[in-house]
Structure 1
Amino acid sequence: MRYLKNVTLKSLMIATFISLGLTSCSEDDDSNPSGEGSANLTVRMTDAPGDYEAVFVDVQDIEIHVESDNETEAEADVDGDGWVSVGDVQTGVYDLLELTGGVSQLLADTEVPAGYVSQMRLILGSENSVIVDGVEKPLNTPSAQQSGLKLQLNQNFEAGENYAFLLDFDVDKSIVETGNGGYNLKPVIRLSAEADAGMVVGKVVVPADIDMSVQTLVILTGESTTISAYTDAEGNFALNGVPAGVYSLEAIPEADANLSTFAIGTVEVKPNETTDLGELTL
Structure 2
Amino acid sequence: MRSLFSYVTIVAAGAIVFYACSKDKSDSSTVPSGKQELSLYLTDGPTDFFDKVNIDIKSVKVLVDTCDKTRRRRDDDDSVQCKVWDSLSITPGVYDLLSLRNGIDTLLAGGMVKDGTIRRIVITLGTNNSIVKDSVNYPLNLLNGQSITIKLFGHEWENFSSGRYRLWLDFDCGRSIVRLNNGKFNLVPFIRAFIIKESGSIKGVVKPGNSKSIVTVFNATDTAYALPWIDGQWKVRGLNTGTYSVYVNGGNGYQDTTINNVSVTVGKEANVGTITLHK
Query: Please, what TM-score do these two structures have when normalized by structure 1?
Result: 0.75
How far apart are 1:127 and its partner, in Å? 0.9
1:202 is matched by which residue type in structure 2? G
Q: Does 1:165 align with 2:162?
A: no
The residue type paired with residue 259 of structure 2 is: I
**Cα displacement (A) at 1:228:** 1.0
Aligned to 2:229: 232
Q: Who is 2:149 aligned against?
A: 150
Unaligned runs of 5+ in 1: 1-14, 18-31, 71-79, 207-211
Q: What secondary structure is seen at the aligned counterpart in 2 of 1:155?
A: coil
Matches within 5 A, 1:171-250: 171-206=173-208, 213-250=210-247
Secondary structure class of the residue paired with 1:233: coil
User: What letter matches 1:88 in structure 2?
Assistant: S
Mapped to 2, the partners of 1:203 and 1:134 lie a distance apart of 26
Q: Which residue of 1 aligns with 2:268?
A: 273
Equivalent residue, structure 2, for 1:29: none
**Matched residues in 1 for 2:132 and 2:196: separation?**
31
Indicate conservation of the 8 Å contact 2:118/2:152, yes or no: yes
Separation in structure 1 between the aligned mates of residue 119 and residue 54 of structure 2, nearest angstrom:
28
Q: CA 1:280/1:133 → structure 2, altered by over 3 Å: closer, same or farther?
A: closer
Answer whether contact 1:56 1:94 (CA < 8 A) is retained: yes
CA–CA distance in structure 2, aligned partners of residues 90 and 138 of structure 1:
22
Preserved CA contact (<8 Å) 2:52 2:96: yes
Shift of 1:184: 1.1
CA shift digits 1:67-105 (9 cap, x unpaired): 1169xxxxxxxxx99463442112101111112333222
Deviation of 1:190 (Å): 2.2
- For 1:63 and 1:34, the matched residues in 2 are separated by 19
1:23-64 Cα offsets, whole Å, 9 max, x none, are: xxxxxxxxx931232223222222122211211111011121
- C-alpha distance in structure 2 between counterparts of 1:259 and 1:87, whole Å: 46
SS at match of 2:174: helix
Q: What is the distance in 2 between the residues matched to 1:126 and 1:58?
A: 7
Give SS of 2:210's match.
Answer: coil
Are residues 130 and 61 of structure 1, via their aligned partners in 2, closer, same or farther at CA, if it must alter by over 3 Å? same
Greater mean deviation of Cα atoms: 226-235 or 107-116 = 107-116
How many Å separate the matches in 1 of 2:185 and 2:275? 37
SS in 2 for 1:52: coil
Percent identity reads 28
Q: Classify the secondary structure of the residue corresponding to 1:248.
A: strand
Superposed CA deviations along residues 207-260 of structure 1, whole A, max 9, x for unmatched, are: xxxxx7233211111232211111112111111222222211112222x2x211
**Unpaired segments ≥5 residues, structure 2:** 1-15, 19-28, 69-80
